[in-house]
Each structure stands twice: as structure tokens, then as C-alpha cells.
Chain A
Amino acid sequence: GQQLNQSPQSMFIQEGEDVSMNCTSSSIFNTWLWYKQDPGEGPVLLIALYKAGELTSNGRLTAQFGITRKDSFLNISASIPSDVGIYFCAGQVSGAGSYQLTFGKGTKLSVIP
């Protein structure tokens, strides 16, 4: 199936540093979502973006919906140990009642105290 190109695949950062990850696609999406997954749990929604150019924040997290509608990025500022996990981007093209998500392969974040 179709996949989004998410990078980087993994990151090791020091506590307090800022983090940036992004997602690109050859297809247009009308919704971009960012999820975080901890071991043994399901993906948890962090931020949802619905309009090209939109910039949305959730605490220390900021995400943007690219102008071309083919990309999105997520920034985490002043990282803390509990930010550790796998971050997934997901794109959605909604139509005819279908809301299926296409996921990136994830960015595994490790935070060194």
C-alpha cells in the first residue's frame, strides 16, 4: 500500500534540545495528523491539521500543513524524557464517507537525560 516518506527514521537527542521531523508524499492530502505511540499502546493523537498552510501548537509541539498539501512537519521544543516514543505522520483524503489514513513509517525518538 501507499506510504508516506517520514524522516528521520530515528533520532538521539539531549534533554532540552528541540526536535524536528517531517513527512512528504507524492499525493495530496486534505488532512494531516501526527500521532505518538508508546510501547504496548496504540497511537495517540497529538495534532490534527485541516488546511494548507495551517500552523497548530499543542504545548511544546508545533505542526504545519504544507502549502502544497503534500507535506507536513512536527517540531518538539525543549525535549523531556517522556517525549521518548515513535512519532507517526498520517495523511487523509476524505471522500464518499471514507476517512482512511495513510501512515509514515515513524520516527523513533530517544532522549538522553
Chain B
Amino acid sequence: DSGVTQTPKHLITATGQRVTLRCSPRSGDLSVYWYQQSLDQGLQFLIQYYNGEERAKGNILERFSAQQFPDLHSELNLSSLELGDSALYFCASSVGSDRKQPQHFGDGTRLSIL
């Protein structure tokens, strides 16, 4: 158990809809990272938050947004969903201030768009 909690585990929805994925980091971690894992693109970094502030952005679509709340949990919002958004979405957390404190991953949310 990595200590990173993601909900829900599975999500099935239709094109055009909006969903919210939730992540609770490990105790003591201030930084949260979101990654997308698809068969063709592999694991891709989306966005990083540190103590409520955005720190880094990867190839995140404009239809996607995220935030980190004062209690440090994070949400990833995906809107106007397309078939190609079907993927595994992982959250990871780390201390966020020391590269020698590596990221630990949750078990992901599997998003299926019908």
C-alpha cells in the first residue's frame, strides 16, 4: 500500500460528459502529480501541485483542469470527454521539496468513455 488513495477505481461515462477524479496524498506529502497512462502514449505527466499551487504542467489538454485543496487532496477534472480520453489516470505524491524523496503512486482510476 503506497498510502496514495484514488477514487473512484473505475468510471464509465459517455462522450461530452464531465468527470472528477480524486486523490489523497500520503501523509506528510505536499506535492501531488497527475499522470495519464494509455496503450499508445504510455505514462504521460499532466500536472503537478505543491501545497495548493500549480508547479509544473505537462501535455495537459485545455479540457482538463486540476486543483489542490487546503487539506492537500487533489482533483482532476476532465470535461467534454472524447473517446480518446479513455485511459488510466494515476495520482502520485511526494514531499515535493527534495528530489531524493521520490514519487509514490496510487492504484489509479480507469476511465472508460462509451
Interface residues on B, range: 20 to 34
Decide: A94 and B99 in contact? CB cutoff 8 A. yes
Instruction: Count how many pairs of residues, one from A and one from B, have CB atoms less than 8 Å apart in the complex.
Output: 74
| Docked complex Cα distance between A31 and B100 (Å) | 8
Decide: B100 and A100 in contact? CB cutoff 8 A. no
Asked, given contacts A33-B102, A42-B107, A94-B99, whether A100 binds B42 with beta carbons under 8 Å apart, the answer is: no
Q: List residues 17-62 of chain B with CB under 8 A from any CB of chain A.
A: 31, 33, 35, 41-45, 48, 50, 55-56, 58-59
State whether the Cβ of A45 lies closer than 8 Å to any Cβ in chain B.
yes
Which residue of the partner chain, among A1, A41, A42, contacts B44 with CB atoms under 8 Å?
A1
Question: Which residues from A are CB-within-8-Å of B50?
Answer: 97
Decide: A48 and B2 in contact? CB cutoff 8 A. no
